[in-house]
Amino acid sequence: MIYFDYAATTPVDQRVLDAMMPYFRENFGNPSSIHRLGQQAEAAVEQAREKVAAVLGCRADEIIFTSGGSEADNLALRGAAIIRRNASGGTWILTAKTEHPAVSKTALQLEKEYGFQLEWLDVDEFGGVTVDALAKAVCNDTLLASVMYANNEIGTINPIANLAEVAKANNILLHTDAVQAAAYLDVNFSTLGVDLMSLGGHKFYGPKGVGALYIRKGTKLLPHLTGGGQEFSLRAGTHNVPYIVGFAEALSLAAEEREARTAHVKPMRDHIIGNVLETISDSRLTGHPEQRLPNHASFVFKDVDGNLLLQLLDAAGFACSSGSACKTGNPEPSDVITALGYSREWALGSLRITLGKDTTAEQVDSFLKTLPSLVEKARTLNR
């Protein structure tokens, strides 16, 4: 099986696994325990926090460990919105329909169940949120804006640093979901200027089920899980020590090897984009042609069922993904593809190919030889 779905998840790096293993059996203590085993586990968590802070260029006490990017998004949006409304009386939340569901569905819940007002930010033809779009949407009662760093589905990179300047000038918080971005882009908070940033370990060769939220010092959040005093009383629950250690090691390696990993995947990505657009009729690139993740290629094909195409690719030995989600047997276009303005005959035929550090040029060539005939077969079966 040739794997082209690194945006969905990545295999755990052997170096990461090696760092994790001692904390499953030898150093298995609860970090909240007073005895030596507990102190060893607590030290491992705090060393991991320092390692993450070093990559982000922030203070260690600005890092909260979570169970993943989705939980970090939930803590950021719900925690910030509720506590800021209580303090200021503001009610407006700004985000885009191109966000990950962990953001967009949390925003919808805040509107429906908690009485907040939600405004969807305009996106451009590439699915990006511009400075003008954010500036136009801000009002006196705006509390919070959430704009992802890089889009998981179409690869577009948003101008987060510039958006942060708009937020700061208007005294609103800016949260960014950087889950997809952290594998290849600089996540130093001083460069980005955000108040809140979500990360997830399994997107950069760390374990699933662990993530982190950066919280700028002085930013108050309503606690997400109540109970013990773990994570500065914002996220109760016994620490998942081996996963936290693995998360920190994976993030550190991603930062150290970012340039080399980018140089490895970008030429293959460009080859895929050029070849597909040249050899397959009625094909279009989705997302920005240049300001996009270096490992990310995504397309729509007219009159193709994206789910059927995925099945054909799977049978041919390729693991890819699509923006279409099968709902009760009827495929529906994703919110992201719909937001780009594509008609249904185009939007249903989305395909995402994402590369990783283990991808080879031979694998890419094999894929490009196979894809055109499978797209044509999917069109024939869809007629």
Res. 130: pLDDT tops 70: yes
Domain C-terminal end among 230, 256, 282: 256
Res. 318: pLDDT tops 90: yes
The residues that bridge with 243 in the sheet, in sequence order, are none
The residues that bridge with 142 in the sheet, in sequence order, are 92
- The DSSP secondary structure of 127-189, one letter per residue, reads SPPPHHHHHHH--TTEEEEE--SB-TTT-BBP-HHHHHHHHHHTT-EEEEE-TTTTTTS---H
Same domain? For 310 and 368 the reply is: yes
The residue-averaged pLDDT of 300-312 equals 95
The residue-averaged pLDDT of 129-140 equals 97
Same domain? For 312 and 368 the reply is: yes
Residue 353: predicted pLDDT? 98
What is the number of other CB atoms lying within 10 angstroms of the CB of residue 7?
A: 25
Evaluate whether residue 291 is within a structural domain: yes
How far is 228 from 237, CA to CA, in rounded Å? 6
Same domain? For 321 and 287 the reply is: yes
Q: Is the pLDDT higher at 134 or at 383?
A: 134
Evaluate whether residue 209 is within a structural domain: yes
The residue-averaged pLDDT of 106-129 equals 97
Evaluate whether residue 330 is within a structural domain: yes
Same domain? For 206 and 70 the reply is: yes
- How large a percentage of the chain has pLDDT more than 90? 95
Res. 172: pLDDT tops 50: yes
**Could you list the residue range(s) of the whole structural domain that residue 358 is in?**
258-382
Secondary structure (H, E, C), 218-286: CCCCCCCECCCCCHHHCECCCCCHHHHHHHHHHHHHHHHCHHHHHHHHHHHHHHHHHHHHHHCCCEEEC
Residue 382: predicted pLDDT? 81
- Phi and psi torsions of 36, nearest 5°: -60, -40
Evaluate whether residue 174 is within a structural domain: yes
Across the chain, mean pLDDT equals 96
Q: Work out the pLDDT band at 383, boundaries 50, 70, 90.
A: confident
The residues that bridge with 325 in the sheet, in sequence order, are 332
How far is 331 from 199, CA to CA, in rounded Å? 30
Same domain? For 196 and 271 the reply is: no
Strand ranges for the chain from DSSP E: 2-3, 63-66, 92-95, 117-120, 142-146, 173-177, 196-200, 211-215, 283-285, 296-301, 318-319, 325-327, 330-332, 350-354
Same domain? For 243 and 262 the reply is: no
Same domain? For 131 and 238 the reply is: yes
CATH number of the domain enclosing 316: 3.90.1150.10
pLDDT, tens digit, 9 for 90 and up, residues 353-382: 999 999 999 999 999 999 999 999 999 998
The residue-averaged pLDDT of 75-104 equals 96
How far is 141 from 104, CA to CA, in rounded Å? 20
Residue 333: predicted pLDDT? 85
How far is 359 from 352, CA to CA, in rounded Å? 15
The number of folded domains in the chain is 2
Contact 156, 290 (CB under 8 A): no
Domain C-terminal end among 256, 281, 296: 256
Res. 4: pLDDT tops 80: yes
Q: Is the dihedral of CA 28, 33, 37, 43 positive or negative?
A: positive
The residue-averaged pLDDT of 261-273 equals 98
Evaluate whether residue 2 is within a structural domain: no
Res. 240: pLDDT tops 50: yes
End-to-end CA distance of the chain: 29
Same domain? For 56 and 195 the reply is: yes
Please return the burial class of 165, using the count of CB atoms within 10 Å of its CB with bins 0-12, 13-18 and 19+: middle
Domain C-terminal end among 226, 256, 286: 256
Scored b (16 or more CB within 10 A) or e, 216-232 reads: beebebebbbeeeebbe
Evaluate whether residue 354 is within a structural domain: yes
pLDDT, tens digit, 9 for 90 and up, residues 334-346: 899 999 999 999 9
CATH number of the domain enclosing 177: 3.40.640.10
How far is 75 from 305, CA to CA, in rounded Å? 36
Same domain? For 152 and 174 the reply is: yes
Evaluate whether residue 282 is within a structural domain: yes
Say whether 320 is catalytic: no
What is the number of other CB atoms lying within 10 angstroms of the CB of residue 51?
A: 18
Average the pLDDT over each of 123-137, 239-253, 323-337, 349-363 and give the range with the smallest value: 323-337
Same domain? For 115 and 159 the reply is: yes
- Phi and psi torsions of 294, nearest 5°: -70, -15
Rounded to 5 degrees, what angle do the CA atoms 60, 260, 10 make? 70
pLDDT, tens digit, 9 for 90 and up, residues 48-87: 999 999 999 999 999 999 999 999 999 999 999 999 999 9
- Longest Cα–Cα distance of the chain, Å, equals 68
Evaluate whether residue 7 is within a structural domain: no
Res. 326: pLDDT tops 80: no
Same domain? For 121 and 210 the reply is: yes
- How large a percentage of the chain has pLDDT more than 70? 98
Instruction: Indicate the SS3 state at residue 69.
Output: helix
Residue 328: predicted pLDDT? 41
Contact 154, 99 (CB under 8 A): no
Same domain? For 169 and 311 the reply is: no
Q: Work out the pLDDT band at 324, boundaries 50, 70, 90.
A: low
Report DSSP state, residue 203: G
How far is 288 from 286, CA to CA, in rounded Å? 7
The residue-averaged pLDDT of 124-151 equals 97
Average the pLDDT over each of 92-106, 135-149, 155-169, 333-347 and give the range with the smallest value: 333-347
Contact 134, 167 (CB under 8 A): yes
Residue 224: predicted pLDDT? 86
